Amino acid sequence: MPSLRDLRDRIVSVKSTKKITSAMKMVAAAKLKKAQDQAEASQPYAQAMAGMLARVAGGITPGSGPKLLAGTGSDKRHLLVVVSSDRGLCGGFNGNLLRFVLKEIARLEAEGKTVKIVCAGRKARDLLKRTLASQIIDSFTGITGQKFTNYEDAEKVAQLVLSEFDSEKFDVCTLMYNEFHSVLTQRPKSQQLIPFAADISNDNEAEEASEGHKSPYDFEPEEAIILGQLLPKNIGVQIFGALLDSSAGEQAARMTAMDSATRNAGDKINDLSLQYNRARQAHITKELIEIISGAEAV
């Protein structure tokens, strides 16, 4: 049975931990508000751009147009851009994403395809390099979980992706990240960047265009020229949106995890205090019995 001193030290230690987790919860809550506002502000632009590109692409003959739209004609080589956090202590935020990524890698490799990885976030790099170090071609750190996510950071990742594609090192590029739904919900998501495939289920006109219906608009210059200019920019926009979603999701997951840790610490303090009081009472009772027994012996 632990001594009174051991129990007292454990209570002090857990109280210190509770103060830390409580402070981290408040910091994460403050950061979440900014990150959530930034993520929500970027969504209309990203959705409008994807919808516009889908409408323009609707007038292009299948298999023609810019290479970013038509692809290489193969799907044997895949590049996965994985966006995670740089820091931990955010519950299952990174673990759920990495399981999702590993499952997708296993599926692709089972189909006889090769997979390369670009990591945006220290946690993805550290966890994936344990078993897939040879497949990681580059990694970026310090671009997620900041107070203010910059488009320049997303542009660095986009330029690497475009450079690798121009060098014909992959056929299909997929963006994988945690999509922010609410404070309690962040779901792993995959989005194909190359060849271009818009996620525009709420845009009826774009949906019709993506199904092959000819756009009612005339374009000047031609659709292929417009797409050649906008498709590279769209990659940066979509990666930027993923970074914003990931940052908001990270802070939400950390706030939830630290709230749970704070409540667990409080419960642990109550349990230890009860044990301490019982042990102290037993110690006092034992001393009283010894004193009374000694007095009676005299």
Express each pLDDT in 151-166 by its tens digit.
888 888 999 999 988 8
Class in CATH terms, 30-255: alpha beta
Q: What is the mean pLDDT of the chain?
A: 83
Q: Is the pLDDT of residue 16 over 90?
A: yes
Residue found by looking up tokens 């999509």 in the block: 179
Strands 77-83 and 172-180 turn out to be parallel
Percent of the chain at pLDDT exceeding 70: 87
The residue annotated as part of the active site, out of 28, 53, 90, 128, is 90
What tokens were used for 114?
A: 């090769």
The packing angle between helices 122-132 and 93-110, to 10°, is 40
> What pLDDT, on the 0 to 100 scale, is given for residue 206?
45
Q: What is the C-alpha separation between 106 and 109, in angstroms, rounded?
A: 5
Q: pLDDT band for position 116 (50/70/90)?
A: very high
Q: Is 217 helix (H, G, I), strand (E, B) or coil?
A: coil
Q: Is the pLDDT of residue 176 over 90?
A: yes
The amino acid at 92:
G
Q: pLDDT band for position 209 (50/70/90)?
A: very low
- Among 66-75, 111-120, 188-197, 212-221, where is mean pLDDT lowest? 212-221
Instruction: Report, as an integer, the average pLDDT of 221-237.
Output: 80
- Among 53-62, 92-101, 117-126, 205-214, where is mean pLDDT lowest? 205-214
> pTM for the whole thing?
0.79
Higher-pLDDT residue of 199, 291: 291
**Beta bridge partner(s), residue 189:** 177
* 35-42 contacts, C-beta under 8 A, 24 or more apart: 35/149, 35/244, 35/247, 35/248, 35/250, 35/251, 36/180, 36/248, 36/251, 36/252, 38/148, 38/149, 38/244, 38/247, 38/248, 39/180, 39/241, 39/244, 39/245, 39/247, 39/248, 42/240, 42/241, 42/244
Q: What is the CATH number of domain 4-25+257-297?
A: 1.10.287.80
Q: Where are the domains of the chain?
A: 4-25+257-297, 30-255
> What pLDDT, on the 0 to 100 scale, is given for residue 210?
45
The packing angle between helices 223-297 and 151-166, to 10°, is 120
Q: pLDDT band for position 113 (50/70/90)?
A: very high
Verify whether residue 119 is a known catalytic residue: no
> What pLDDT, on the 0 to 100 scale, is given for residue 79?
92
What tokens were used for 222?
A: 């031609």
Please check whether the two domains, 4-25+257-297 and 30-255, share a CATH topology: no
Which backbone phi and psi does 178 adopt, to 5 degrees?
Answer: -90, 115
Residue 228 burial (CB < 10 Å; 0-12/13-18/19+)? middle
Q: Is 291 helix (H, G, I), strand (E, B) or coil?
A: helix
> What pLDDT, on the 0 to 100 scale, is given for residue 81?
93
